Amino acid sequence: MIRQNLEMSFHPYLNFGGNCREAFTRYQEIFGGELALMEMGDIPGNDEGPAGQRNLIAHAALMCGGDLLMASDAFDDPFPPVQGMYVNFSTADVAEAHRVFEALAEGGRVDMPIATAFFSPAFGLCTDRFGTPWMVVAQSGDQPG
């Protein structure tokens, strides 16, 4: 039986190895929206936080329209690369898909250049300079998000 819950939603929660603030500042430049950052030192009762970690990000939230992207800095040492997923950005505007792809790929790695695909007028894969894998797609008129 398929269970439907209209109140359910999924939001990516990313982890960074100390550069969450830089990454989310860049994402806000690319996507716009409202950015909220909470540092480790802002956590109530965390007055004695580890030296050098008080300015790391405990929680970042970028709200763009009805979409929410969240993250924090992780304490893994060494910090492992992201594997097995992409953050998907979809738009109906082909020019916007190209703009976002180029901005995300800047300083990072193009895994599949953005181009026409059988299911989209613009589709590409890249890993940004922060190590986050992205899937950028322009939706064709007959394809669901």
Domain locations in the chain?
A: 10-78, 81-145
Question: Taking the CB of residue 135, how many other CB atoms lie within 10 A of it?
Answer: 17
Task: Give me the CATH topology for the region 81-145.
Answer: 3.30.720
What is the pLDDT, as a whole number, of residue 141?
Answer: 59
Domains 10-78 and 81-145 share a fold: yes
CB neighbours of 26 closer than 8 A, spacing ≥ 6? Answer: 128, 130
The sign one gets for the Cα dihedral 109, 141, 10, 35 is positive
Q: What is the pLDDT of residue 16?
A: 95
Paired residues of 88 in beta bridges: 135
What's the average pLDDT block by block, 10 residues per block, for the chain (145 residues)? 69 93 98 96 72 86 95 85 93 97 98 97 98 95 51
pLDDT of residue 107: 98
Is domain 10-78 classified as CATH 3.30.720.100? yes
